[in-house]
């Protein structure tokens, strides 16, 4: 990955996040990256290729985030870490994650598998904790945490800390 390739990727991320994928022209990306427009196509083949590169990065980052949870053997810790997940994302990454949410709807594609590792880890934890419907519980929590993440990123949640403590308590932590 050359320096210019990274500049392109960074510009694309920024602009796609700010204005949306379709509303961002490749020439804008090139300008913003201080690079000729043709170079985008040499390195990423397509505008869509650019997008895919960014999406791939998102999936990787997500898996990194999940890794810590999946490896955890203490079921209480699994649930705690899962709940804390949306709250530990630093604000500097909001733009990046906002784009991932945006693309989830803008691009037609099945993203449900992306959260599957988390759901499975939670299901296992809830089994160990003797929850009545561990699978539903895990699915529900995954979905809810996803929604909380979205709300945080859109800064439409009034008091994040309260929500976190509320949730931890709700799950007996």
Partner DNA sequence: AATGAATGAGGGTTCATTCAT
Partner DNA sequence: AATGAATGAACCCTCATTCAT
Query: Which tokens hold the place of 89?
Result: 């994302």
14 touches a second copy by CB under 8 A:
no
SS3 of residue 86 by DSSP: helix
The item of a second copy, DNA, none sharing an interface with residue 56, based on CB under 5 to 8 Å by kind, is: none
> Is there binding between residue 10 and DNA (CB under 7 A)?
no
Host H or E run for residue 58: helix 47-71
- Cβ-based nearer residue to a second copy, 99 or 121: 99
Please, which of residues 79-118 interact with a second copy by CB under 8 A? 101-102, 104-106, 108, 110, 112
* Residue 93: other Cβ atoms inside 10 A: 11
Tokens of 35: 């690079």
How many Å apart are CA 34 and CA 137, to the nearest integer?
Answer: 49
Read off the tokens for 47. 């505008």
Q: Which residue has the tokens 């500097």?
A: 92
Identify which range of 23-31, 68-76, 112-120, 129-137 contacts DNA by CB under 7 A.
Answer: 23-31
| 32 touches DNA (CB under 7 A) | no
Binding residues for a second copy, rule: CB under 8 A, are 20-23, 101-102, 104-106, 108, 110, 112, 133, 136-137, 139-140, 143-144, 146-148, 151, 154, 156-157, 162-163, 166-167, 169-170
């Amino acid at each position: 990955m050359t320096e210019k390739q990274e500049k392109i990727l960074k510009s694309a991320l920024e602009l796609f996040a700010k204005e949306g994928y379709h509303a961002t022209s490749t020439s804008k990306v090139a300008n913003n990256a201080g690079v000729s427009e043709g170079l985008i196509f040499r390195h990423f083949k397509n505008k869509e290729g650019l997008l895919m590169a960014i999406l791939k990065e998102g999936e990787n980052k997500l898996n990194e985030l999940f890794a810590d949870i999946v490896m955890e053997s203490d079921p209480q810790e699994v649930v705690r870490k899962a709940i804390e997940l949306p709250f530990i994302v630093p604000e500097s990454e909001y733009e990046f994650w906002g784009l991932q949410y945006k693309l989830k709807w803008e691009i037609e594609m099945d993203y449900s598998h992306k959260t599957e590792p988390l759901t499975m880890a939670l299901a296992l934890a809830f089994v160990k904790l003797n929850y009545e419907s561990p699978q539903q519980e895990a699915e529900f929590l995954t979905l809810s945490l996803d929604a909380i993440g979205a709300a945080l990123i859109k800064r439409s949640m009034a008091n994040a800390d309260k929500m976190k403590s509320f949730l931890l308590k709700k799950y007996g932590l």
